[in-house]
Amino acid sequence: MSEIVLSRVNKHYGTTFHAVKDVDLTISDKEFVVLVGPSGCGKSTTLRMIAGLEDISSGEIRIGDRVVNTLPPRDRDIAMVFQNYALYQHMTVYDNLAFGLRNKKMPEEKIKQAIGHVTEILGLGTMLQRKPRQLSGGQQQRVALGRCIVRNPQAFLFDEPLSNLDAKLRTQMRVEIKRLRARVPTTSVFVTHDQVEAMTLGDRVVVMRDGSIQQCGTPLQVYSEPSNKFVAGFIGAPAMNFLSAEIRMEEGGLVAHAPGLRIPVPARCREALFSRADHKVILGVRPEHLSITPTDKPIGAAQVEVVEQLGAELVIETLVEGQAITVSRMDPTLHITAGQKVDLHVTSEQLHFFDPETEWRIQ
């Protein structure tokens, strides 16, 4: 069992800066958890505290059945992959893979077996005698992964391992990491600022901001039930539209009114919003849940500002009484031009309401 448990973990740098705040997080045995958030939110610091590369200021970190608070990194039985692959440039791929095992005084015969195994998993067979500079970025990153796997650690820690790669290679490596997970299931913590990477790789996604966890859930949970406006805006692309609205009780039920828009409150949100009648809320609606193709009643009229043709979909930026609203996933064969007037429609029950003071989800 190699569960990782963080209990009220804090990190202060000096006397003034509180980089990680009361982080409580349990990563189950063989679970793959992704920490995601904007630059400076404390992702790497959290990971480095798990690795032992950074002291914790207070709290407790447990890996497996040991509290590791003061245990040096080499005794924590974890392997870490960084953005820069940190391979030994003067050694062959084989020797890079063997390095950690030789340090542990593993017999050469066993090392050979272990390397044979990862070589097969990662398809490194033809590269073992090359030096890192004779490999592409993607191949080097694969060797760095291999170096972790041969050690057969209790946990893998990844800090933005794909961010040096070009877009296409990133996608490939993402698939490779998924494949690897199926073959070598190991407790993993993966740090990224890229929400697509987080959503595609994580069993669970942990969204951080200013050193605090904002939400921890499956990719679908953070997408469809974001805990606050920050998470709602961070997850999903193009980003969620936010409107300042007022809830009113009308004959047919609750309605959210924003300048130029009248949006009936879907059944699933009604109960939470009853007590908000005549109050202001922030209404969130994802671009993919809006359309200009008539469904039933339009919520209002918009003027098209920008049209983005992406081939597979059309994304338009519109203006409703000065407020920008994005609509995505539109039929790319539609003929729409800037300046055109369109009617907006909501195509999903998935509207989101946030408290304007706290910005947390109203539920």
Residue 162 sits in the site that holds ligand ATP (CB under 6 A) = no
Tell me which of Mg ion, ligand ATP, none is bound by residue 15, counting a contact when its beta carbon lies within the kind-specific cut-off of 5 to 8 angstroms.
none
| Nearer to ligand ATP (CB atom), residue 19 or residue 258 | 19
**CA 33 – CA 277 distance, rounded (Å):** 39
Q: How far is the CB of 104 from ligand ATP (least distance, A)?
A: 30
Question: Whose CB is nearest to Mg ion?
Answer: 44
**CA 307 – CA 315 distance, rounded (Å):** 6
| Nearer to ligand ATP (CB atom), residue 19 or residue 315 | 19
Among 8, 24, 40, 280, binds ligand ATP (CB under 6 A): 40
Among 19, 36, 144, 213, binds ligand ATP (CB under 6 A): 19
Helix (H, G, I), strand (E, B) or coil at 209: strand
Q: How far is the CB of 43 from Mg ion (least distance, A)?
A: 5
| Nearer to Mg ion (CB atom), residue 39 or residue 337 | 39
Q: Which of residues 190-229 bind ligand ATP (CB under 6 A)?
A: 193
Tell me which of Mg ion, ligand ATP, none is bound by residue 13, counting a contact when its beta carbon lies within the kind-specific cut-off of 5 to 8 angstroms.
ligand ATP
| Nearer to Mg ion (CB atom), residue 31 or residue 160 | 160
**CA 314 – CA 267 distance, rounded (Å):** 29
Give the number of residues in contact with ligand ATP, rule: CB under 6 A: 12
Q: How far is the CB of 84 from Mg ion (least distance, A)?
A: 12
Of 101, 103, 90, 161, which is closest to residue 130 (Cα–Cα)?
Answer: 90
| Nearer to ligand ATP (CB atom), residue 187 or residue 192 | 192
Q: Per DSSP, what are the bridge partners of residue 79?
A: 156
Residue 13 sits in the site that holds ligand ATP (CB under 6 A) = yes
Q: How far is the CB of 39 from Mg ion (least distance, A)?
A: 7
| Nearer to Mg ion (CB atom), residue 83 or residue 139 | 83
**CA 358 – CA 90 distance, rounded (Å):** 54
Q: Are 20 and 55 in contact (CB under 8 A)?
A: no
Helix/strand/coil percentages in the chain, nearest 5: 30, 35, 35
Residue 291 sits in the site that holds Mg ion (CB under 5 A) = no
Q: How far is the CB of 208 from ligand ATP (least distance, A)?
A: 7
User: What are the CA-CA distances from residue 253 to residues 248, 267, 281, 283 (Å)?
Assistant: 8, 9, 17, 17
Among 44, 139, 192, 328, binds Mg ion (CB under 5 A): 44
> 183: which 2 tokens?
């073959």
Q: Are 37 and 45 in contact (CB under 8 A)?
A: no
Residue with tokens 């918009």: 302
Phi then psi for 357, rounded to 5 degrees? -80, -55
Q: How far is the CB of 83 from ligand ATP (least distance, A)?
A: 9
| Angle of CA points 223, 226, 230, to nearest 5° | 110
Q: How far is the CB of 85 from ligand ATP (least distance, A)?
A: 17
> 198: which 2 tokens?
């987080």
Q: Which positions touch ligand ATP (CB under 6 A)?
A: 13, 17, 19, 37, 39-45, 193
